């Protein structure tokens, strides 16, 4: 995977950094952590998850023993960040931090007058 990541890709990786999540919980986590800026539709989220899985950044995770199932006999599918995915997320974080440093040096910080 090459950088930069899309906002949705980045937020998915960040949301999975601390815990395994199933699709709807992941969708809500992305919306919350982005302050409502990134609000994926469930269909587009699953397409992103399929691509990130194919690229080795995300993988299926076991369903927690205490997880509730929305449908009898059909457990939720959980996802987790792979080591490779964690590395890509770190690289993207570093890239974004450098971009913010450049903006600050150019006096482009919000609320600052030139």
pLDDT at residue 88 is higher than 90? yes
Whether pTM > 0.85 for this model: the answer is yes
Write the CB contacts of 90 (distance below 8 Å, at least 6 apart in sequence): none
Distances in Å between the Cα of 25 and the Cα atoms of 47, 67, 99 are 16, 12, 30
Residue percentage of the chain with pLDDT more than 90: 75
């Amino acid at each position: 995977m090459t950088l930069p990541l899309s906002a949705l890709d980045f937020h998915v990786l960040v949301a999975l950094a601390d815990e395994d999540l199933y699709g709807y919980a992941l969708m809500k986590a992305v919306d919350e952590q982005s302050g409502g800026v990134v609000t994926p539709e469930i269909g587009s989220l699953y397409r992103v998850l399929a691509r990130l899985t194919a690229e080795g950044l995300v993988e299926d995770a076991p369903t927690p023993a205490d997880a509730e199932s929305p449908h009898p006999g059909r457990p939720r599918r959980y996802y987790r960040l792979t080591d490779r995915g964690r590395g890509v997320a770190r690289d993207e974080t570093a890239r974004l931090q450098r971009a913010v440093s450049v903006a600050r040096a150019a006096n482009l910080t919000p609320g600052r007058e030139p």
